Amino acid sequence: MAQINPSILSADFARLAQEAEAVRGSDWLHVDVMDNHFVPNLTLGIPVVESLSRATDIPLDCHLMIEDPDRWAPQYVEAGAGSVTFHVEAAAAPVRLAREIRAKGARASMALKPGTPIEPYEDLLPELDMLLIMTVEPGFGGQAFLDIMLPKIRRTRELIAKHDLELWLQVDGGVSASTIERCAEAGADVFVAGSAVYGAEDPAQAVAGLRSLAES
């Protein structure tokens, strides 16, 4: 079944509790953490994740676009994240880090920027609960979906099948009513959507619409 994770990057940061409420029925809330070093943008950090986890029942899917995730990612589990995604480009010891996230009780996930291939990381897949394939350059919401990522999604789905893994395959960036079917067809099963959800008049209805397209 397809999961839709609204990204609060496109929400009103002064009203996060209400913005979470507006997407009731979503599987996870996607929380983009940016440090102005790994990506050229700055968003929020541990105190906001702590507050948000108390303010909503929707589990938090924290996407860390930060340097030194080896140091910070475990603290996001303590702050209340149910899933923590680190970027492989920034991690010093991805296997150790994934194990630490799992040991602390969250789902461990690893992200690949558009220019990062999956093949060198095939042997790491059993250490993960989710793999995130970025379909835009990380840093900003509202960018155009990169169609050239579809073959990578397809190849990753093949690797997951080859190793018979229970790994979720997430896509993030430019996912909308006009691109989600292509992602699903290529093998993604978890869909992050920021502007397509929070830019809609009725965010909950946008989530339902995306879900039915992904499952069609």
Active site residues: 32, 172
The verdict on whether residue 199 carries a ligand-binding annotation is no
Among residues 195, 204, 208, 209, which is the contact residue for ligand DX5, using CB under 6 A?
195
62 is a contact residue toward ligand DX5 (CB under 6 A): no
Alpha-carbon distance of 44 to 115, in angstroms, equals: 25
Q: At what angle do helices 94-103 and 69-78 cross, to 10 degrees?
A: 10
The minimum distance between CB 199 and ligand DX5, in angstroms, equals: 8
Order of strands across the sheet that contains 130-134: 3-6, 190-193, 168-172, 130-134, 107-112, 83-87, 60-65, 29-34
190: helix, strand or coil: strand
Are residues 3 and 191 in contact, defined by beta-carbon separation less than 8 angstroms? yes
163 labeled part of a ligand binding site: no
173 belongs to an annotated ligand binding site: yes
Q: Is 206 in the site for ligand DX5 (CB under 6 A)?
A: no
Residue 151 and residue 188: Cα distance in Å, rounded?
A: 11
Provide the sign of the torsion angle of the four alpha carbons 180, 155, 8, 146, taken in this order. Answer: negative
Q: Per rule CB under 6 A, is residue 5 in the interface with ligand DX5?
A: no
Task: Check binding of 139 to ligand DX5 (CB under 6 A).
Answer: yes
**Tokens at residue 118, please?**
């999956």
Binding-site member from 3, 11, 27, 30 for ligand DX5 (CB under 6 A): 30
Q: Answer yes or no whether residue 94 interacts with ligand DX5 by CB under 6 A.
A: no
Q: Which stretch binds ligand DX5 (CB under 6 A): 54-62, 89-97, 138-146, 183-191?
A: 138-146
DSSP single-letter state for residue 143: P
35: contact with Zn ion by CB under 5 A:
no
Assess 194 for contact with ligand DX5 (CB under 6 A).
yes
Does position 10 bind ligand DX5 by CB under 6 A? yes
Binding piece for ligand DX5, criterion CB under 6 A, among 87-95, 140-148, 149-157, 178-186: 140-148
Q: Which residues pair with 83 in a beta bridge?
A: 61, 107
Q: Does 32 bind Zn ion (CB under 5 A)?
A: yes
Within the chain, residue ranges assigned H as helices are: 16-21, 46-55, 69-78, 94-103, 150-162, 180-186, 195-198, 203-214
Among 149, 172, 180, 200, binds ligand DX5 (CB under 6 A): 172
Per the annotation, binding residues for substrate are 7, 63, 139-142, 172-174, 194-195
Residues that bind ligand DX5 (CB under 6 A): 7, 9-10, 30, 32, 63, 136, 138-143, 172-175, 192-196
